[in-house]
Structure 1
Amino acid sequence: MKKWNAKNVMNTLPERKTDAHKGTYGTALIAAGSRFMPGAAVLSAIACMRSGVGKLEVGTEESVIPYIIQHLPETTFVPGFYERLESLSFDQYRVLAAGPGREADDETEQTVKTFLSTNLPVILDAGALSKRTYSKRKAPTILTPHPGEFLRISGCSKEELEENRQVTVTEFAKESGVTVVLKGKKTLTAFPDGEIYENTTGNSALSKGGTGDTLTGMITGMICCHEDWKHAILNAVYLHGASADEWIKKKSAHAMLAREINDLLPEVWKNFEKK
């Protein structure tokens, strides 16, 4: 197993082109949020916009839209997203994400099915994580479970996972043909080709609701600005943890909120850019 460290990040973070426009870095679509969990959509949307995307569209329930606009007026929306899902065109997007702030219901499952039928990278989190078989796709499918979610979608036992995380996660990624970002202490990223990396940042400040929604948004945004999608995932995980490490330099790990990762990210990211 390899470790993804500061040197890896510095060597793979993309430079912002001087002649770039929003089309250069593409449009992302995140299906997120619900009546009782609008905040997850807010967190993932801000994280995506902070992470290099050119433009973000959110597919959500109408009641969630005012919450997002209040915190992120730069976001645009897909009118009647769930009602029009089966007739929507996805040609204008570079990456799709689903799950933050969603229950594992029929509406979410149909979203996942539709997204997976495209030739675009798809990130699945939270309510979009269910036990299912994944068809072979040209574009990557990325799952971002915490340990409890991984047990549910993989069918492995808690003992198996605790005894050998690396082997368990690697085998699942290879057999399912997906990339797995297993969140937790020393987050593991396992690719379907058998490669696996251990993250070297992060601390217990991240053990709080909403931090996973933020990571989903970061991965989504970084895929839009990286040429190599693997580097995008690994750098998102690293900078997510590095933001929490920056927080505890002066503040208690007990006190960090997920939204503060988004506030810390611009300065933390800058520290790893080539001078």
Structure 2
Amino acid sequence: MKKWSKENVVDTLPVRKSDAHKGTYGTALIAAGSRFMPGAAVLSAIACMRSGVGKLEMGTEESVIPYVIQHLPETTFVPGFYERLNDLPFNHYTVLAAGPGREENDETEKVVQTFLSTDLPVVLDAGALRERTYQKRKSPVILTPHPGEFIRISSFDKEKVEQDRQAAAAEFAAQTGVTVVLKGKETITAFPDGETYMNTTGNSSLSKGGTGDTLTGMITGMLCCHDDWKHAILNAVYLHGACADHWIKTRSPHTMLASELSELLPEVWKKYEQK
């Protein structure tokens, strides 16, 4: 299994074009948040906007909108998202993501199936993760489960996953045709073509609610500004962990909040940009 290193990140991070405009780096659509979990929408939205996308639209319940606007006024929203789902102009978007702050229910599954029916990259997390089959499609599907979610969606034995996370992730990716970002210490990214990478950043400060929502946003944003979708995923995972590593240089790992990852990202990302 390969390791994704600092040198890999430096070599593959995109250069921001001097003549770019917001259309250059696409529009992401994230379906996230609910009445009792509005914060997940906030976390994924901020992380996405920090990660290179040109424009972000949110598909969410109306009650969630004020929470997002308060923290990220740059966000726009799809009016009547769940009612208009089948009529949305998907050719307007670059990447689709779903799941943060959502329960695993029929409404969420309808969003997932609609997203999967497009030819766009799709990122699925949290409430959008369930056991299902995936049709072959032109663009990648990226799942970001923690170990408990992975066991649930794969039906693999807990012992099998704990004994060899890399092998389990690789087997699932090959069987389903999706990319698996199996979170945890040394997060594993398994691509359906057999390529598998171990992440080399991160620490126990990430073992806190909301950090996964932030990672979903980062992957979504980076897919919009990278030419190579694999590099986008691997760099998002790496920089997510690198932000946590930067935190513990001067502060306790007990104290980091998920929202602080996005606050650290501009400084951390800059360190890896080529001069």
**Alignment TM-score, normalising by the size of structure 2:** 1.00
Could you tell me which residue of structure 2 aligns to residue 226 of structure 1? 226
Secondary structure of the residue aligned to 2:96 is strand
What is the Cα deviation at residue 54 of structure 1? 0.1
Could you tell me which residue of structure 2 aligns to residue 94 of structure 1? 94
What is the Cα deviation at residue 89 of structure 1? 1.7
Could you tell me which residue of structure 2 aligns to residue 135 of structure 1? 135
Distance 1:135 1:6 in 2: 34
Secondary structure of the residue aligned to 1:244 is helix
Structure 1 moving runs of 4+ over 6 Å? none
Within 5 Å, which residues of 2 pair with 1:41-52?
41-52=41-52
Unaligned runs of 5+ in 2: none
Secondary structure of the residue aligned to 2:36 is coil
The residue type paired with residue 25 of structure 2 is: Y
Could you tell me which residue of structure 2 aligns to residue 187 of structure 1? 187
Within 5 Å, which residues of 2 pair with 1:207-226?
207-226=207-226
What is the Cα deviation at residue 164 of structure 1? 1.3
Could you tell me which residue of structure 2 aligns to residue 260 of structure 1? 260
Secondary structure of the residue aligned to 2:181 is strand
Could you tell me which residue of structure 2 aligns to residue 273 of structure 1? 273
The residue type paired with residue 27 of structure 1 is: T
The residue type paired with residue 74 of structure 1 is: E
Could you tell me which residue of structure 2 aligns to residue 34 of structure 1? 34
Distance 1:68 1:166 in 2: 36
What is the Cα deviation at residue 87 of structure 1? 1.6
Query: Percent of counterpart pairs with the same letter?
Result: 77
The residue type paired with residue 34 of structure 1 is: S
Distance 2:215 2:170 in 1: 21
1:196-242 C-alpha deviation (Å, 9 max, x unpaired): 00000000000000000000000000000000000000000000000
Unaligned runs of 5+ in 1: none
Could you tell me which residue of structure 2 aligns to residue 169 of structure 1? 169
The residue type paired with residue 147 of structure 2 is: P
Within 5 Å, which residues of 2 pair with 1:235-250?
235-250=235-250
Could you tell me which residue of structure 1 aligns to residue 13 of structure 2? 13
Distance 1:165 1:62 in 2: 39
What is the Cα deviation at residue 88 of structure 1? 1.4
Distance 1:157 1:128 in 2: 21
What is the Cα deviation at residue 167 of structure 1? 1.2
Could you tell me which residue of structure 1 aligns to residue 106 of structure 2? 106
Could you tell me which residue of structure 2 aligns to residue 70 of structure 1? 70
Distance 1:168 1:41 in 2: 30
What is the Cα deviation at residue 166 of structure 1? 1.3
Distance 1:77 1:212 in 2: 22
**Alignment TM-score, normalising by the size of structure 1:** 1.00
Secondary structure of the residue aligned to 1:91 is helix
The residue type paired with residue 49 of structure 2 is: M
Q: What is the alpha-carbon root mean square deviation over aligned residues?
A: 0.4
Distance 2:148 2:210 in 1: 16
Secondary structure of the residue aligned to 2:274 is coil
Distance 2:157 2:29 in 1: 34
Could you tell me which residue of structure 2 aligns to residue 147 of structure 1? 147
What is the Cα deviation at residue 165 of structure 1? 1.2
The residue type paired with residue 60 of structure 1 is: T
